[in-house]
Amino acid sequence: MARRLWLFGVLAATALGCAGEPGAPGAKGDPGPKGDDGAPSGGSEAASLSAVVPASVFLARAVEVTLSGAGTAWTEKTTADFGPGIEVAKLTVASPTALVASLVVAADAATGPRDVKVVEGAEELVYKGAFRVDAPLRLTLVGEPAQGSIFVVHARGLDFETPFDVTQSGSVFTPTYPDLSLTTSPGVSAAVTNASEYVVDYQVFVDVDAAASPVTADLVSGPEGDQVEFPFPAAFAISARAPTPLLAGKTKKITLAHPGDSALLSYTPSAAKLMIIDVGSSTADMNATPAGYFLPASGKFADRFATASGATFASSSITPYYAVYTDYFAYAGYELDVTATETAAMGGAETEPNDSKNLAITNGAVSAPWVTKSATLKDASDEDWYAVSLGATDVGKSIRVQTSGLDPRTDTVVDIFEEQGNTLIPMGPKGNPSDDAGYLDELTSIPTASMGTYFVKVSASPYFDPAHIVYDVIIRLE
């Protein structure tokens, strides 16, 4: 009984909190992790520019862009900046956190990503790389751009909301596209060869003296007064190149190795006297279709006086001529032999009136080879007659007549007659024997049967244009 009472007393004492003196305090523990930052005073989040929609635009376009913010309080005093070349024509505050910017993008604005900046009082918000400017075209080149060259540009439109204006004129076989043009740098011109709503092919001509530098191409689509630009800054770069000299009596071998290749040749007559110059080309490749573009001393394609595999022209000075050779259909992988020959000739100015055989006799018969430079057809009914004298040693030779000159659009018709007035052109209708397939003409008679006086008549084609009236006539025997 005594033992039970003792145990009860111990337990009661414990329950009542009876304890000994407290021990010494323990060592200080490591600090815990930092808690989250509290909200700024006032309870609002930090302001930011969070979205730009749409995020890109094409050059030379107007577009509306929505700017979205967070924690912003935009007002009518807010401004937006998209960088150089982009004008913010109007900025509308749709809400304290939304702006609508009406943008006008210049044709020469820098392409690529750019920062967008919004300013409200002292607060400036920047969204880096939020907006992009792109060219509305993708270009593919066939051939190498160089001084004195021809190449092809394949332009694909990327602005699918704005198709090209492919209105056609001309014939079905040779259509033209009056509402499409390609503006480039000085000395570089272009002509449309094919077009659809989103693809345009151009043949590009680079003058001999064009600057060796990058060229900005600007495709313009639509009728005057309602045109849309498709610019492409630094679309291609013109490289410098010197012409390969072509010497009289020598053959120059050129290679058109790749599709669209072109070769630049120069020819300078050997003397400052009247000569007939014949430039021709030949190749062993039956699939080749070589074309030479013949330019005067200016070296400009706008002044070209012939486009063919060869050309004949008269010269009386030592000023240079140029020939740019390429393939009509961009066929490649062949060599081309180009030759130039000189034939000394007599010549004189056209003597008016010369509208008949009798007047040609009055003016005096000429001896071949003969050149009359800068003759004119005054109007569509004008005829120019030339009397040609053949001696005994000339019997059996044919009379070859060519009209040429620096104006390739003078539209002539040629005929050759014997003294009795009969045409010397077999199967040809009298008065219009040359085929008149082009502008300037070339015609060779049947062999002459006797010595005496023969006649060459140059007249206007039914398609004659009074804006183009000057021609040279070259008369030879062969």
Which tokens in the block code for residue 139? 């270009």
| Separation of alpha carbons 153 and 61, rounded Å | 23
Question: Do the bridges between strand 56-58 and strand 123-134 make them parallel or antiparallel, or are there none, so unpaired?
Answer: parallel
* CATH number for 184: 2.60.40
**pLDDT given for residue 44 in this prediction:** 54
Classify each residue of 9-44 as buried b or exposed e, where b means 16 or more C-beta atoms within 10 Å of its C-beta: eeeeeeeeeeeeeeeeeeeeeeeeeeeeeeeeeeee
Residue 185 and residue 267 in one domain = no
Quick one: 268 and 360 in the same domain? no
Report the predicted TM-score, pTM, of the whole model to 2 decimal places: 0.83
- Do 270 and 305 share a domain, yes or no? yes
pLDDT of residue 12: 37
Please name the residues in contact with 15: beta carbons below 8 A apart, sequence gap of 6 or more. Answer: none
Q: How far apart are CA 361 and CA 355, in angstroms?
A: 11
Query: Is residue 262 one of the residues assigned to a domain?
Result: yes
In terms of Cβ atoms closer than 10 Å to its own Cβ (0-12, 13-18, 19+), residue 204 is buried
Does residue 163 have a cis bond before it (omega within 30 degrees)?
Answer: no
Q: Does 334 map to a domain?
A: yes
Give residue-wise pLDDT tens across range 134-184.
Answer: 999 999 999 999 999 999 999 999 999 999 999 999 887 788 999 999 999
Question: Residue 337 falls within a domain, yes or no?
Answer: yes
User: Which residues, at least 6 apart from 116, have a Cβ–Cβ distance to it below 8 Å?
Assistant: 49, 52, 67, 80, 81, 82, 126, 127, 130, 131
Q: Are residues 453 and 396 in the same domain?
A: yes
User: Same domain, yes or no, for 202 and 314?
Assistant: no
Asked if 102 and 194 sit in the same domain, the reply is: no
If 0-12 CB within 10 Å is exposed, 13-18 middle and 19+ buried, where does residue 224 land? Answer: exposed
Domain count for the chain: 4
Residues 219 and 252 grouped into a single domain? no
Domain harbouring 356, CATH code: 2.60.120.380
User: For residue range 50-82, what is the model confidence (pLDDT) as tens digits?
Assistant: 999 999 999 999 999 999 999 999 999 999 999
Is there a domain that residue 40 lies in?
A: no
Written as one string, the DSSP assignment of 299-362 is --GGG--EEES-EEEEE-S---EEEEEEETT---SEEEEEEEEEEE-EE----S---SHHHHHH
Structure tokens at 215: 């060229």
Which amino acid is it at 154? H
- On whether residue 446 sits in a domain, the answer given is yes
Whether residue 353 is found in the same domain as residue 471: yes
Contact 219, 238 (CB under 8 A): no
pLDDT of residue 433: 66
Residue 365's closest CA among 396, 392, 386, 394?
386
- The residue from 134, 152, 171 where one domain ends is 134
98 domain residue, yes or no? yes
DSSP sequence for 210-246: --SSEEEEEEEESSTTS-EEEEEEEEEEPBP-PPEEE
CA angle 245–346–397, rounded 5-degree value = 95
Bond from prior residue into 466 cis (ω within 30 degrees of 0): no
Cα separation of 270 and 65, whole Å? Answer: 67
Residue that the structure tokens 């110059």 belong to: 277
Residue 67 CA to residue 93 CA, distance in Å, equals 10
Residues 6 or more apart from 69 whose CB is under 8 A from it? 47, 48, 49, 50, 97, 98, 99, 118, 125
Domain boundary among 102, 134, 166: 134
Q: What is the pLDDT along the chain (478 residues), one digit of tens a residue?
A: 443 333 333 333 333 333 445 555 555 556 655 555 544 444 457 999 999 999 999 999 999 999 999 999 999 999 999 999 999 999 999 999 999 999 999 999 999 999 999 999 999 999 999 999 999 999 999 999 999 999 999 999 999 999 999 999 988 778 899 999 999 999 999 999 999 999 999 999 999 999 999 999 999 999 999 999 999 999 999 999 999 999 999 999 999 999 999 999 999 999 999 999 999 999 999 999 999 999 999 999 999 999 999 999 999 999 999 999 999 999 999 999 999 999 999 999 999 999 999 999 999 999 999 999 999 999 999 999 999 999 999 999 999 999 999 999 999 999 999 988 888 886 544 445 676 777 899 999 999 999 999 999 999 999 999 999 999 999 999 9
At 226 the pLDDT is 95
Residue 205 counted as domain residue: yes
The Cα 296–Cα 312 span in angstroms is 13
What is the domain range of residue 378? Answer: 348-477
Q: Residue 422's pLDDT is what? A: 85
**Whether residue 472 is found in the same domain as residue 368:** yes
Radius of gyration of the chain (CA): 42
Q: Are strands 370-376 and 346-347 parallel, antiparallel or unpaired?
A: parallel
Q: Which of 344, 368, 384 is the last residue of a domain?
A: 344
Closest CA to 218 of 201, 202, 233: 233
Task: Give me the torsion for CA of 152, 158, 164, 170, rounded to 10°.
Answer: 20
The answer as to whether 38 is a domain residue is: no
Same domain, 112 and 152: no
CA distance 144 to 139: 13
Q: Are 267 and 364 within one domain?
A: no
Same structural domain, 276 and 225: no
Tell me the torsion sign for CA atoms 157, 162, 164, 166. Answer: positive
CA distances from 426 to 423, 440, 445 (A): 8, 20, 8
